[in-house]
Structure 1
Amino acid sequence: MNDIRPARWTRRHLGLLTGSAATTVPAVTDWPAPRVLPHDDVWDLWPVQEEDGSPSTVLGQELWMTLSAPAAGHPEERHGHARLHLLGRDADGWTDLGHVFADGASLGSREWSGSAVRRPDGTVSVFYTAAGRRGEPWQTFSQRVVEARPRLLTADGRVSLDRDVAHQEILRSNGGTYLPADEVEGAPGRIRAFRDPGWFRDPADGREHLLIAASVPWDGGFMGAIALAGARPGGWSLGPPLLVAEGINHEIERPHIVVQDSTYYLFFVTHRHNFHPRDAAPTGLYGFAAPALTGPYEPLNGSGLVLGNPPEHPDLAYAWLVLSDLRVVSFLNYRFSGAVDPREAATPEARAAFGGTVAPVLKLALDGLSTSVV
């Protein structure tokens, strides 16, 4: 992996950005939207994958994971209470299968986003971000990549994961290429990153990789980047970045790859307020494409924009994830109803504007370096 030349996402690319129906998330008129969990907010969902990247189906249900927190207080506070939740999905909707891990079992004080893959031996590799440290007296913002590998259980016709499982830190930022994600104080959007491990098996050689949202040094501060780690005997090896936001964005999240027609599509998401300058581009799903995992990558649609929120609701949805069949899942974030930004509004107004549930599923069409929402 050391021969990677990182793709550069630059201001020139953003200058090519034009809004169109093909790259705009459709408006949501059903509000408040139906909730997946009646008493909890959910966000950042992902499927338990088979090793070919397709969603795993057990006892007639697709298995999914999501972040969850009690639907109380200001929505922006949910990140301080985040837990991994297991869900089932079939034609009748969603089934609550409980928290993925037992209380206090994970290595962080919170559990942030990751990915999961079902193994041939009956276990599930759950890769997640340990935010803070278990038992810390106050919440910090250190981030490490952790793997737990519970057995998949189907007793009494119900799917669950074995709670008696070890958790092992497998990667952390190296302090060189990638800045350490170790702040004591901060908030989402204002901290360095080393999180959101996205599992990927390269069909070209069968090797396993993790894509990680990271931070690299930039002009006395930091910029968003996508780190690539490769599996090796006994662990993981952290390599050079696949992509760097060259002076334009300090936080890109949830990197993942889908292979279509021998082309590697590298997707990631970011908020409008993370651009430099702020609102230089919309909150959305962005992407690049290459003939191989290590590149060379070119931006999709010229600018990198694949899906952006509609201007009238600039924070409508977030955390888009493109599945192997090109379905696109996300969650409903904020629906604007006035002049005040809901993220900065008082709790009652923010809570009324917050979705906290799964957004309508979209479908993406890919044609080389061009994309459109179907």
Structure 2
Amino acid sequence: MVPARWTGDHIEAIDAAPVLRAPLLSEEDFAPIAPDLGVWDAWPVQDEAGKPIILAGGRQLWMALGAPRFADPDERHGHARIHLLLHSAEGWRHLGPAMPDGFSPGSREWSGSAVASADLATVALYFTATGRRGEQILTFEQRLFSALATLDLSGEAPRLGDWRELEEIVPIDLEHYMSTCGGPSEVGKIKAFRDPAFFRDPAGGDDYLLFAGSQARSRSEYNGVIGIVRRQCGEQGWTLLPPIVSADTLNNELERPHIIFHAGLYYLFWSTQRHVFAPSGPAGPTGLYAMVSPALFEGWRPVNGSGLVFANPEAAPAQAYSWFVLPDLSVTSFVDDWSGGDDRNFGGAFAPFVHLWLAGDKAGIAR
């Protein structure tokens, strides 16, 4: 399988048309989830078709990375845990860490996805274990893990308990993916084997996990790829497959990749930032990017000719990040540096949802 290529020619196409920008945020557009807690990468507890599960009263159960607020917001990555959140008409409510202390095999927990059983009795969590539990010096080794929990809906707020069946989904395959051990530790240069996002293919029923990876044996420091793991219908084990998209020599991080199936087409979305493009080539803005295809393993082409769906506003180029598209085409993200000024103003909260339109290989924000 040869991955689709995302290249400098695609990025240069961004300048051929006006860049679609997300609305500019003000301080009144977002609020902290809880005192002294910053949150970022978020995902709903979904059903097997990808839709957020709906609880009594129309409530939804979500997860997000969270950590205490630091003077330097980048410090949060060394303290990240997955937190459980309740979303309702009243807003967001913090329910605490999703997994109990000492359960995760990493020194911190990075992004993933979560799938509830049809009867809402259990939730399967797919996540990134970063580092090793108990390590004295933080490392950036990343491993993909799954775990199962019982969903308790008997109380005033949902709870996850009886965590069990913790196991590594697949070990890294160094034939196709670069090791995350011993590499750079600078934010934006860290190598990737993270962010597993669940997708059930409506054609055949196989399950997949999309993830951010780094291409093996690349001659470039900018070697981001989108990897994929498959569990065939009716089977238990997962198989690691070669990447389906490569940005080798162009971009280091194709983060939080995920697929939705819409109007008979597969749309593969990811987030990336301007500063992780190779300095020797063209650089796109920080934004949400995508490819589209009529099939899962061939035919991928960048939407809008470039891959860019929309970018942050020019006045605040790092305003939001980590966009995640839901099947109804609503998009969540978190507020990053929202002010656009010389001093960094980390929001650490949910940004207002935006809504997309998709039409073949074209995409944009619905106004």
TM over 0.5: yes
User: Partner of 1:135 in structure 2?
Assistant: 134
User: Partner of 1:160 in structure 2?
Assistant: 159
Deviates most, 161-170 or 315-324: 161-170
User: Partner of 1:287 in structure 2?
Assistant: 290
User: Partner of 2:122 in structure 1?
Assistant: 123
Q: CA deviation at 1:163?
A: 4.4
Gap change, CA 1:148 and 1:19, over 3 Å in 2: farther
2:364 is the counterpart of 1:367: no
Contact between 1:117 and 1:124, CA under 8 Å: does it hold in 2?
A: yes
What amino acid does structure 1 have at the position aligned with 2:69? A
CA distance in 2, matches of 1:302, 1:234: 38
Contact between 2:38 and 2:68, CA under 8 Å: does it hold in 1?
A: yes
The SS at the match of 2:71 is coil
CA distance in 2, matches of 1:239, 1:264: 18
The match for 1:319 among 322, 330, 338 is 322
Which deviations, in whole Å up to 9, do the C-alpha atoms of 1:17-38 show, x marking residues without a partner?
0387772111012358311222
Gap change, CA 1:301 and 1:185, over 3 Å in 2: closer
CA distance in 2, matches of 1:255, 1:188: 18
What amino acid does structure 2 have at the position aligned with 1:186? S
CA distance in 2, matches of 1:356, 1:21: 29
CA-based RMSD of the aligned residues comes to: 1.8
Deviates most, 251-260 or 151-160: 151-160
The match for 2:238 among 230, 236, 239 is 236
What amino acid does structure 2 have at the position aligned with 1:15? E
Task: Please list every run of 5 or more consecutive structure 2 residues that lacks an aligned counterpart in the other structure.
Answer: none
Which deviations, in whole Å up to 9, do the C-alpha atoms of 1:163-210 show, x marking residues without a partner?
442421112321111111112661331111000000000001111000
Contact between 2:356 and 2:364, CA under 8 Å: does it hold in 1?
A: yes
The SS at the match of 2:305 is coil
CA distance in 2, matches of 1:22, 1:361: 19
Which deviations, in whole Å up to 9, do the C-alpha atoms of 1:77-121 show, x marking residues without a partner?
000000000111111111211110111210100000000111136
Contact between 2:274 and 2:283, CA under 8 Å: does it hold in 1?
A: yes
User: Partner of 1:302 in structure 2?
Assistant: 305
Task: Please list every run of 5 or more consecutive structure 1 residues that lacks an aligned counterpart in the other structure.
Answer: 341-348
Q: CA deviation at 1:220?
A: 4.9
What amino acid does structure 2 have at the position aligned with 1:308? A
2:14 is the counterpart of 1:17: yes
Between the aligned residues of both structures, percent identity stands at: 43
CA distance in 1, matches of 2:247, 2:174: 18
2:70 is the counterpart of 1:48: no
Which deviations, in whole Å up to 9, do the C-alpha atoms of 1:198-256 show, x marking residues without a partner?
00000011110000100003215350001111014342101111100031101110000
Contact between 2:222 and 2:276, CA under 8 Å: does it hold in 1?
A: no
Gap change, CA 1:32 and 1:362, over 3 Å in 2: closer
CA distance in 2, matches of 1:316, 1:22: 16
CA distance in 1, matches of 2:147, 2:18: 41
Contact between 2:333 and 2:351, CA under 8 Å: does it hold in 1?
A: yes
User: Partner of 1:344 in structure 2?
Assistant: none
Q: Hey, which bits of structure 1, 4+ residues long, moved more than 3 A?
A: 18-22
User: Partner of 1:39 in structure 2?
Assistant: 36
What amino acid does structure 2 have at the position aligned with 1:360? P
The SS at the match of 1:149 is strand
Contact between 1:64 and 1:86, CA under 8 Å: does it hold in 2?
A: yes
Which deviations, in whole Å up to 9, do the C-alpha atoms of 1:289-347 show, x marking residues without a partner?
00011121010000000011112211000000010000010000002453x4xxxxxxx
TM-score, normalised on structure 1? 0.92
User: Partner of 1:334 in structure 2?
Assistant: 337
2:95 is the counterpart of 1:103: no
The SS at the match of 1:241 is strand
CA distance in 2, matches of 1:303, 1:37: 38
Which deviations, in whole Å up to 9, do the C-alpha atoms of 1:239-289 show, x marking residues without a partner?
111100031101110000011111000000111100012871101110000
Deviates most, 91-100 or 318-327: 91-100
2:4 is the counterpart of 1:7: yes
Contact between 1:229 and 1:237, CA under 8 Å: does it hold in 2?
A: yes
Gap change, CA 1:54 and 1:164, over 3 Å in 2: closer
Which deviations, in whole Å up to 9, do the C-alpha atoms of 1:115-145 show, x marking residues without a partner?
0111136211100000001111111000000
2:350 is the counterpart of 1:354: no
What amino acid does structure 1 have at the position aligned with 2:77? H
Q: CA deviation at 1:361?
A: 0.4
What amino acid does structure 1 have at the position aligned with 2:152? L
CA distance in 2, matches of 1:173, 1:147: 15
User: Partner of 1:224 in structure 2?
Assistant: 224
Counting matched residue pairs gives 360
Contact between 2:148 and 2:163, CA under 8 Å: does it hold in 1?
A: no
Contact between 1:287 and 1:299, CA under 8 Å: does it hold in 2?
A: yes
What amino acid does structure 1 have at the position aligned with 2:127? Y
